[in-house]
Amino acid sequence: MSRIAYVNGRYSAHSRASVHIDDRAHTFADGVYEVILVVNRHMIDLEDHFRRLDRSLCELDIPRPMTGRVLTHIMNRTIHLNRVVDGIVYLQISRGAAPRNHVFDNASLTPGVVCTARRLDVPATSRDVSGVEVITLPDTRWTRVDIKSVSLLPNVLARTRAAGRGAYEAWLVDGEGFVTECAASNAWIVDSSGRLVTRPVADGILRGITRERLMTLARELSIEVVERPFSVAEAKQAREAFLTSTTSLVKAVSRIDETVVGNGHPGHVTCRLLDAYLDFARHQAGFPDGHSRVVLG
């Protein structure tokens, strides 16, 4: 089936969808985006994604192009047209199109809106997933990583370098040897006392929506969460390590560089958290008992 995209008021075949050559997302990476998990055709944690979207738009002084209700309709329509049951929906808002000039004038610009959706395999339980390898790389990104901007070149280079070495992700490291986050996800460890440790958002990371949800679920499971920086050396000695994002959900890290984490398999705490997140998502998607007939792709 041909994929369908929404671009500035029109739904069209994904292969034919286009934006103006002078769209500032193209010329200056002048735009923001959100990626939202879809389970049973329902968007998960949509209100939290909208809050982060509004903050990103505000920080870049990009006017919101339409109401949340209209954006929700566009995303739901895109999900429906692409027949996505479990998957993701991508929303991008740019400042708009204008002759290339560093200086912008919002009064003369109309924000651009792009939306796509695609299928994604969602595991039934933690038993269906295995650990992944990550590598560590210097964090060379700009300082405003708290904004979910489309300016992702350092992330792209890091993730590609990781893939070239057979790894799933790159854990980014600041100048003092502490892990900030991953190229496309948030980083966590489980310390020797069974506590979750993750870097505070005030210390130069993105406020991940899955990250925030997982913190809430962990506390409901009586798992202590500690927000503090942790070093690469501490991560390699941790009881468990994992990463979180909309597309990765909760993914165990079995190896960091050449060091095996724990016993090299997804740990007990990581599995509990993944199962809790899956139950939460399915409940929000309309399965009262938190379980569902899982549809893969």
Catalytic residue, candidates 95, 148, 213, 251: 148
Question: CA-based angle 112:117:118, to the nearest 5?
Answer: 150
210 with 110, same domain: the answer is no
Are residues 137 and 81 part of one domain?
no
| 251 contacts 168 by C-beta, under 8 angstroms | yes
- By residue range, what is the domain housing residue 68? 4-119
CATH number for the domain harbouring residue 96: 3.30.470.10
Q: Per residue, what are the HEC states of 263-280? A: CCCCCHHHHHHHHHHHHH
Q: Domain end: 119, 149, 168, which one?
A: 119
Q: Are 207 and 214 in contact (CB under 8 A)?
A: no
Residue 295, domain member (yes or no): no
Residue 287 is predicted with a pLDDT of: 75
| Residues 107, 15 share a domain | yes
* pLDDT, average across residues 10-29: 96
Residues linked to residue 118 through DSSP beta bridges, in sequence order: 88
Hey, how many other C-beta atoms are within 10 angstroms of the C-beta on 16?
A: 9
pLDDT at 297 over 50: no
Report angle CA 226, 228, 233 to the nearest 5 degrees.
110
Q: List pLDDT tens digits, range 46-83.
A: 999 999 999 999 999 999 999 999 999 999 999 999 99
Looking at residue 296, its pLDDT comes to 26
My answer on whether 96 and 137 are in the same domain is: no
Whether residue 161 sits in one domain with residue 263? yes
- What b/e readout covers 208-241, taking b as 16+ CB neighbours within 10 angstroms? bbbbbbbbebbeeeebeeeeebbebebbbebbbb
Same domain, 47 and 93: yes
Q: Do both 107 and 150 map to the same domain?
A: no
In a domain, 296, yes or no: no
Residues 144-153 have pLDDT tens digits of 999 999 999 9
CA–CA distance, 182 with 170 (Å, rounded to integer): 5
Q: What pLDDT band is residue 288 in, cutting at 50, 70 and 90?
A: low
Q: Please report the DSSP string for 19-69 in residue order.
A: --TTBHHHHH--EEEEEEEEETTEETTHHHHHHHHHHHHHHTTPPP-S-HH
What confidence score (pLDDT) does residue 292 get? 40
Q: What is the pLDDT of residues 92-151, one digit of tens each?
A: 999 999 999 999 999 999 999 999 999 999 998 999 999 999 999 999 999 999 999 999
Indicate if 161 and 235 belong to the same structural domain. Answer: yes
Residue 294 lies in a domain: no
Domain count, the chain: 2
In a domain? residue 227: yes
Query: Are residues 143 and 256 both part of a single domain?
Result: yes
CA distance 35 to 127: 25
Q: Do residues 261 and 232 touch, judged by C-beta distance below 8 A?
A: no
Q: Are residues 82 and 195 in the same domain?
A: no
Q: Are residues 275 and 134 located together in one domain of the fold?
A: yes
- Among 97, 119, 141, give the residue marking a domain's end: 119
Structure tokens at 20: 């103006």
Residue for token pair 């735009």? 31
Q: Indicate if 148 belongs to the active site.
A: yes
Q: Give the Cα separation of 140 and 72 in Å (integer).
A: 34
User: Is there a domain that residue 291 lies in?
Assistant: no
The answer to whether the beta carbons of residues 117 and 84 sit under 8 Å apart is yes
Same domain as 131, residue 115: no
Q: Is the pLDDT of residue 181 over 60?
A: yes
Structural domain ending residue among the three candidates 119, 136, 171: 119
25 in any annotated domain: yes
pLDDT confidence of residue 295: 31
Give per-residue pLDDT as tens, 219-271: 999 999 999 999 999 999 999 999 999 999 999 999 999 999 999 999 999 99
Please report, for the domain that includes residue 154, its CATH number: 3.20.10.10
Whether 35 shows a pLDDT value over 90: the answer reads: yes
